[in-house]
Chains A and B, each alone.
Chain A
């Protein structure tokens, strides 16, 4: 187990190192870096000055060394727009995204773990068919479109919910609903599929033959195995949440990392962009390790292998 952990950790470190290098290459070597930081109508002199000040005229290796050194100290440069250290801005925005993501994941899992087994309980029934198509539709839907239509219908036309921003519980409903769609859809399908194959396995037959109530068979024994299936795709879902959060936060004005990212792009604030991307990547890598650990804990076959 320890060896597994160490290996995963090293693996993630390599991934992070590659990412840092990639961001550096993208930022410094694909043309004049000053153009990335400065607005598009900056004068030539301003660009030249910026290059001098930022040390962009120095040899590449020296720049890279400074860059990596800065990262070690969590210094990603200063945001040109807000005159604040980039990392500070990112740290302010992160909790918002984490809160949104956490609630979304919990709700999505709850729904998937309820609907999935119920659908697998009676395969090919009306409930199952509807659930399958609905979950597939949820997984195929463009989240930005649903968000917009949701705002139009629920917020503008009926005025039940606010259109954007943060505040009391009503501000959370639409963002969570939209963010939840794809994950719930995919997870429900996976849980249902895994349950259907588990329910055909010998040990379930044995339990039934012993006279166990069908409800116990399905909702306790078979469900346990499906949790493993859900955890397996949890890594993919985490990435899906980040992708979805970018869109949802932008549309609903949720002050999280996703919105920060898009704003940084629109405002051409490269320091913040770098910081946000690297911070998000680190969180995802850590999350993947945690998921692998949970997976190993849940499935003894992995642990003992």
Chain B
């Protein structure tokens, strides 16, 4: 054995960044990885491409009326076909992506914010106010969302803002329930008690101590809900009570393409496929998020070594 000088290396493990950890976890679930890539591409394309294409995308061009897809003879823009007014479908799809995704994100953020606030109150002031809030949430929840949305949008005018409000309200009970359940559990923990003992007001306890703990759970619920919101909004647009033309969403595109189903199937096909893929990607990603955020379940994602251990592990 040689005793040449061996440099003394620092054997303390380097702290890995949170991003790197997240990426490793992501690699453990190939579906989630593909979903993330798809979603990032979609959002980037929806944000940038319509601007890049500009005029060409929205010009009415009757010569390309109902142009068939999968040929390049009309130009690259018409790869997915042309609609009944001759506009290329691909830019229209991205335009619709913007509106659909924006509405869905707005609904999720609004219902998340309001629902969390209400849930915090319900969990903290449990006696009277909390009970009342839970009953109200149950009433909202016991009613099919589509029905409620349809009747409300019939009475008020169908606009994007109203759609967001109605869908947001139907989503509230979900967040209220989850947050309240979490708050009820966290309230009993020692660090809350010690905060109270050092004189923290209720508000301070709620905002500074309890809220940070429940944020991961809320985010998981929100991502799980996103696909459902998107599907609901598409259904409303399809039925004609969602956003109205000229605003374009995927659901609306499917509805408009329905009239040309036998002659130009691509009008209805691509938007619906887009909805399916996006909802699926979001669901896969939120499943991954659920596993990644829960330290007890994270082992499922930790690469091949995790898979072998799956066989041996007791849980």
List chain A positions with a Cβ less than 8 A from chain B.
Answer: 11-12, 14-15, 18-19, 23, 26-27, 30-31, 36, 124, 133, 136-137, 139-146, 148-149, 151-152, 156, 200, 239-240, 242-243, 246-247, 250, 261-262, 265-266, 273, 277, 280-281, 284-285, 288
Shortest CB–CB separation between residue A14 and chain B, in angstroms? 7
B8 within 8 A of A: no
A284 to B280, CA, bound (A): 28
* Closest residue on chain B to residue A25 by CB atoms: B155
The reply to whether B152 and A26 contact each other, CB–CB distance below 8 Å, is yes
B57-65, B191-199, B212-220, B267-275: which lies at the A interface?
B267-275
* Closest residue on chain B to residue A137 by CB atoms: B280
What are 25 A-to-B residue pairs whose CB atoms are below 8 Å? A18-B139, A26-B151, A26-B152, A30-B156, A31-B155, A36-B154, A136-B280, A139-B283, A140-B231, A140-B276, A144-B238, A145-B254, A145-B268, A145-B271, A148-B261, A152-B265, A156-B262, A242-B144, A243-B147, A246-B147, A247-B146, A247-B238, A247-B239, A250-B239, A281-B143
A145 to B275, CA, bound (A): 9
Shortest CB–CB separation between residue B311 and chain A, in angstroms? 9
Contact of B147 among A14, A31, A136, A261 (CB under 8 A): A261
The reply to whether A142 and B139 contact each other, CB–CB distance below 8 Å, is no
A136 to B152, CA, bound (A): 30
B241 within 8 A of A: yes
A143 to B251, CA, bound (A): 11
Per-residue CB contact flags for chain B residues 138-161 toward chain A (1 = under 8 Å, else 0) read: 110011111100111011100000
* Closest residue on chain B to residue A27 by CB atoms: B155
Closest 5 interchain pairs by CB? A145-B272, A140-B279, A243-B146, A242-B144, A140-B280
List chain B positions with a Cβ less than 8 A from chain A.
Answer: 31, 135, 138-139, 142-147, 150-152, 154-156, 227, 231-232, 234-235, 238-241, 251, 254, 258, 261-262, 265, 268-269, 271-273, 275-276, 279-280, 282-284, 287, 307, 310, 314-315
Shortest CB–CB separation between residue A281 and chain B, in angstroms? 6
A53 to B147, CA, bound (A): 29
Which of B138, B154, B261, B269 has most chain A Cβ within 10 Å?
Answer: B154
The reply to whether B146 and A246 contact each other, CB–CB distance below 8 Å, is yes
Decide yes or no: A142 and B142 within 8 Å by CB, A156-B261, A247-B239 being known contacts. Answer: no
* Closest residue on chain A to residue B257 by CB atoms: A148
Shortest CB–CB separation between residue A221 and chain B, in angstroms? 19
A277 to B155, CA, bound (A): 14
A139 to B286, CA, bound (A): 14
The reply to whether A288 and B269 contact each other, CB–CB distance below 8 Å, is no
A12 to B138, CA, bound (A): 9
Shortest CB–CB separation between residue B255 and chain A, in angstroms? 8
The reply to whether B272 and A152 contact each other, CB–CB distance below 8 Å, is no
Main secondary structure of the interface of A (DSSP, over half): helix
Decide yes or no: A285 and B272 within 8 Å by CB, A139-B283, A144-B238 being known contacts. Answer: no
Shortest CB–CB separation between residue A88 and chain B, in angstroms? 20
The reply to whether A246 and B150 contact each other, CB–CB distance below 8 Å, is yes
The reply to whether B154 and A265 contact each other, CB–CB distance below 8 Å, is yes
Shortest CB–CB separation between residue B29 and chain A, in angstroms? 11
Shortest CB–CB separation between residue A47 and chain B, in angstroms? 17
Shortest CB–CB separation between residue A154 and chain B, in angstroms? 13
A142 to B279, CA, bound (A): 9
Decide yes or no: A148 and B258 within 8 Å by CB, A243-B145, A284-B143 being known contacts. Answer: yes
Contact of A277 among B151, B254, B261 (CB under 8 A): B151
Contact of A145 among B135, B276, B282, B307 (CB under 8 A): B276
Question: Which residues from B are CB-within-8-Å of A18?
Answer: 139
* Closest residue on chain B to residue A146 by CB atoms: B272
* Closest residue on chain A to residue B313 by CB atoms: A200
Decide yes or no: A15 and B280 within 8 Å by CB, A26-B151, A27-B155, A148-B258 being known contacts. Answer: no
Question: Which residues from A are CB-within-8-Å of B144?
Answer: 239-240, 242-243, 280, 284
Question: Which residues from A are CB-within-8-Å of B273?
Answer: 145
Shortest CB–CB separation between residue A263 and chain B, in angstroms? 11
A262 to B235, CA, bound (A): 12
The reply to whether A144 and B142 contact each other, CB–CB distance below 8 Å, is no
Contact of B239 among A145, A148, A246 (CB under 8 A): A246
